[in-house]
C-alpha cells in the first residue's frame, strides 16, 4: 500500500500549505538568484520585442506614406477634374457668347436689309 496512513482533513490541509510554501520559496530563490538561462531568455524576449516594435513602426511609416501619396494623387485628380470642368464651362460660355454675337449680327444684318428695302421703296415713291 502506497499511502498507508489515514489522511485526515488537517493532514491534507497542512500538506497543501507546505506545498504552497515550497513553491513560494522556490519562486523567491529563482527571482533573487541570477540564472544565466533565464537572463538569456529575457534578453532574447527583449530583442524580439524591439524587433517587433521596429517592424510595426516601419509598417506604420509605410502606411502613412501610402496614405499621403494617395491623398496627393486624389488632390491632383480633383484639381484636374475641377480644371477640366472650369475649361468646359469657359468653353460653353465662349460658345454661347459667340452664338449670341452671331444672332445679334444676323439680326442687325436683317434690320439693315429691311431698312435698306424700306429706304429704296420710299425713294421710289418720292
Q: What is the mean pLDDT of the chain?
A: 91
* Region 57-72 average pLDDT: 97
Judge whether residue 125 has pLDDT over 90: no
DSSP states of 61-74 as a string? HHHHHHHHHHHHHH
Residue 6 lies inside a defined structural domain of this protein = no
Q: Rounded distance, CA 29 to CA 63, Å?
A: 47
∠97-93-113 over CA atoms, to 5°? Answer: 15
Residue 62 lies inside a defined structural domain of this protein = yes
* Region 1-20 average pLDDT: 79
- Sign of the dihedral through C-alpha 118, 120, 122, 124: negative
Domain that holds residue 51: 13-125
Residue 2 lies inside a defined structural domain of this protein = no
Q: Rounded distance, CA 118 to CA 109, Å?
A: 14
Q: Rounded distance, CA 24 to CA 35, Å?
A: 17
Domain count, the chain: 1
pTM: 0.47
Residue 117 lies inside a defined structural domain of this protein = yes
**Confidence class for position 1, pLDDT limits 50, 70, 90:** very low
Amino acid at each position: 500500500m502506497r499511502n498507508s496512513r489515514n489522511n485526515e482533513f488537517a493532514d491534507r490541509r497542512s500538506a497543501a500549505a507546505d506545498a504552497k510554501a515550497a513553491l513560494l520559496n522556490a519562486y523567491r530563490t529563482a527571482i533573487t538568484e541570477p540564472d544565466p538561462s533565464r537572463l538569456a531568455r529575457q534578453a532574447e524576449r527583449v530583442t524580439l520585442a524591439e524587433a517587433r516594435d521596429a517592424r510595426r513602426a516601419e509598417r506604420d511609416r509605410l502606411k502613412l506614406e501610402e496614405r499621403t501619396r494617395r491623398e496627393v494623387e486624389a488632390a491632383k485628380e480633383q484639381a484636374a477634374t475641377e480644371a477640366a470642368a472650369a475649361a468646359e464651362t469657359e468653353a460653353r460660355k465662349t460658345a454661347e457668347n459667340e452664338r449670341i454675337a452671331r444672332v445679334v449680327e444676323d439680326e442687325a444684318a436683317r434690320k439693315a436689309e429691311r431698312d435698306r428695302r424700306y429706304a429704296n421703296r420710299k425713294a421710289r415713291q418720292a
